[in-house]
Structure 1
Amino acid sequence: MASLGRSALLPQCSSCIRRVTRLAWNTGGPLQQLRMKTKAAKEAERNIVVKLIKDVPKYGRAGSYIPLNPATMRNQWFPRRFADYVPFLQLRQLKAQGVDMERDFEFGVVRPLEEVEEDEEEVIRRPKHYVRPVEIELLSPERSMELLSTFIPPTIDFARQPIGQDKAPAGQRYGASDAADVLTAAVMASKPKPEVNGIYGSVSTSDVVATVKSALAHNDEAARVLLSEADVRFIEGHAEGDPSRLKKLGTFRAEIRVPGAEEAIVRNIRVRAKE
């Protein structure tokens, strides 16, 4: 039965034999099966080249060029400012310059460290490479003060909860008798009264430094300014015994100066009631 089944697939007449022979002769060999493009190959042809604005794990570092699906770029990456489109002329120049436009699958991937057993003699013979320390160019005091004057607004606002004053409602008795009223009034008079416009907590120089650093972080050069709590000083309004804190509502002046600068800048520190 198997032999009959195989023989049925062979040409049964002379014309069929000639047709099969002619096809094999014209093609220069046996008939070959044509393979269609895979789904991955078709998707790779549809991809566009984009420029990364931020570091994206498993894709690449900011500034690199990678291929990306157009729908992903249009719906997710471009609205979230992960990447930007590359104009056609710029893309052609990049290809002419041989710029790498491949995705880095290993970027940002943290792999677990495993202990590796090595031969002690091999480790001793292995040459040690010199690693040059990273050098960060520091800004001069004059340039730091210029950046502080530019990016710090004239008034820095802080919101704090004010302390409520203890007041007895009109007509309310303190105790059940006149003697109790006198005793209660004496006790309340002995309590220290809260400061007018007092607040819960405080506004410290560290709060001012944190707010200033947040304002400087939007500029690459200004973010390199080194500022500490010792560089900020409240000129007025600070708490007694603690010149680094404000303990009441109002507008007060603070002095900011980095080490080495000749003159300081003065800014208003406004403490307002939290709504």
Structure 2
Amino acid sequence: MAPARLIRPPTCLDCLRRLVHPSPASPPSFLSLQTRGAKSSTKAEEEDLQGIPVRLLQDIQGFGRKHAIIRVKPGRMRNYWFPKAQAEYMTRQRFKELGLTEAAIGVRDRSFGTKLIVESEGVPAEEGPKETRKSKKDTLTLPPEETLTLLETLLPPILTFARKPIPAVSAPLPSEPKPTPIPRSPSLAANAAASIDFAAEDSTPPSTEEAAPTAIFGSVSVNDILALIRERLLEDDPAQGGRVALEADNVQIQGLEGEDRIKRLGTFDVLITAGKDLEPLVRKVEVVPEE
């Protein structure tokens, strides 16, 4: 029988320390599983904490009640809410005017205005006032009478557009025809002036040719006029100006002679209709040379 192999005693201090003070038993491996990649918040919650602070001017379904301060994407505010006066930008000056700080910024309420199921009773319940169920046209736009009054008050009499004129190309002048000799009586002297000569000079018709209209680079369409109208209304009255709903059918340019847009310099009458039973508002559109 082979002799038992002697075990060499440990010389490392850490090994000796573990022999003298053994550590407690480690927990099972299945209890120490790593949760690599786990997130503490969802993607929607992270989006709600990003964006610019705005203050809601009315109840908005899926976002919150009126006067709530939340963060939204700049594009939503710029393209939808601000033009329709649904919300206002919360700048530092606005926080100061309201006596608030940035701590007042809340989180979007995604369940606001939506239907929920009450499990205990099994009946549907609704959150938010009934006004949130109205159509967008009823809650966001002004009545035709108020729209007409606002246009008459805030819209200037002349809307000016600057466009670059197209240089006119002058055509070569045709050669002047030789005058037809007038027959003279043989009894008149060569140096005598006949009355028919003066009659021929006086019978020359005056030039009635009018100057051709100056064409422009880039026409002025109905959509351009609508954009300028909205810009003027928002500048003078941001709260009510964004509630004026005008479409391309509400604007008509006079004197275009079969065209649908202005393609030359000049002044044109524009009819703006706010309602079917209301008289159209007349304004002038002036297209001037761009400096």
TM-score, L = length of structure 1? 0.46
TM-score, L = length of structure 2? 0.44
Higher helix share: 1
Bigger RCO (CA 8 Å, 6+ sep): 2
Q: Which has the larger radius of gyration?
A: 2
